[in-house]
Amino acid sequence: MATAADLDRPADNLETFRDEARAWLGENFPAELRGHDNAMSAVDGPTAETPAQRKWREAMGDKGWGVPTWPTEYGGGGLSRAQARVLQEEMGRIGAWNPIGGMGVMMFGPTLLEYGSEAQKQQHIPGIVRGEVRWCQGYSEPGAGSDLASLQTFAEDKGDHYIVNGQKTWTSGGQWADKCFALVRTDKSQKHAGISFLLLDMTSAGVETRPIRLISGSSPFCETFFTNVKVPKENLVGREGQGWEIGTRLLQHERNSLSGGGGSAGRMNAGERVADIAKRYRETDASGRLADADLRTRIIKHEMDQRAFALTLRRAALEAKGNAGPSAATSVMKNVGARITQDRAELNVEIMGLQGLGWEGEGFTQAELEQTRTWLWGKAVSIYGGSSEIQNNVIAKRILGMLDHQ
């Protein structure tokens, strides 16, 4: 991983790298993919790769630039954060997008690099780097959502392996995943200290997924059932009873991504400006401004918030030191990102009026139908990855230093 010293890399070295990155992208990014998106990132599941998409994914995977700051010994790019920003700028310049993503990149990979054994890193990180292995998260259970430490999925010690029984819910992408990183109970006598972090193969006998259909019409989540699933002991990350520590660290990486650094919130805030959408659906005055002064003011406030948030995220990245990674401050970013995302969707529906409430049939454009689903789907942004209420608790305790009163 990059060090703090990398932030002070001489400008001429960065410009040399910029030239190298520009040349490599020019040779390897298929022009026909300009403006498209990652085939793995669709809400309704990964779509089939075209030959061009496959070529692009393999090129980025071989180069390690899908995870540019990860160590080269596991296939990563080995770039400094400064170089990674240059790479992102050069990709943006030509309309290129990162074909490597998913929960392996967002959450599991960074956590395994910190807590995993050398054998586990060698086994699992390269598949993430090349975009060949899909991961899902086994955390929440029907009786353990906000109080996650109450989870009951049990891994019984059988000598050289565990036998896992239990149920998880809201397993994002579980029906398409190859592997699962999960919190399981290995000791029923202790609440937090009885939890361990275990890796499961989703093709194992006894694993069953049942998709959950959301109000948006998509089914990105699953109920996942484990019935006498055999898991080798070498799939334990860290030591028994360390799961709560590892799992909490992983959630910081998740919230960092969901706050706008590549997660769903970032994608939903991308695209056409709200002001431009408004000018197509609402009346304008002689000077070309929106005639509705109140709506105009609220759009301006939203775009100011969005811009300030983007600058704050960038500043936070610049101020990060060493390999400390995300902190409890990601809870602040996650809450703000969720609010801005939902504000955008609400504004767009209000601007479109009845055209923003279509579900199917004639009389609606595809963009209008997608907006309806985006608005409904966006209700989950303040829930998944830890609800806004849970984030407020984290902020109060770990940032503001407020303690519970008995």
Q: Catalytic residue numbers?
A: 254
Residues 364, 351: Cα–Cα separation, whole Å: 15
328 exposure class (CB count in 10 Å sphere: 0-12, 13-18, 19+)? middle
Cα separation, 93 vs 81, whole angstroms: 18
At 35, give phi and psi (nearest 5°): 80, 0
Single-letter residue type at 109: G
Consecutive H or E run containing 157: strand 154-157
- Residue 372 CA to residue 16 CA, distance in Å, equals 46
- Give yes or no for a contact between 96 and 83, defined as CB atoms under 8 angstroms apart: no
DSSP 383: T
Please, which residues bridge with residue 300 across strands? none
353: nearest Cα among 338, 368, 335? 368
Contacts with 261 (C-beta within 8 Å, 6 or more apart), sequence order: 313, 317
Q: Which of 194, 192, 183 is CA-nearest to residue 149? A: 192
Residue 145: both structure tokens together: 């959502």
* Strand duo 207-212 + 154-157: pairing: unpaired
Between CA 307 and CA 313 the distance in angstroms is: 10
Task: Write out the DSSP string of 321-376.
Answer: -TT----TTHHHHHHHHHHHHHHHHHHHHHHHGGGGS--SSTT--HHHHHHHHHHH
What are φ and ψ of residue 253, in 5° steps?
-65, -40
Which three-class secondary structure state does DSSP give residue 122? helix
Report CA-CA distances (Å) from 221 to 43, 101, 134, 182, 218. 10, 17, 14, 15, 9
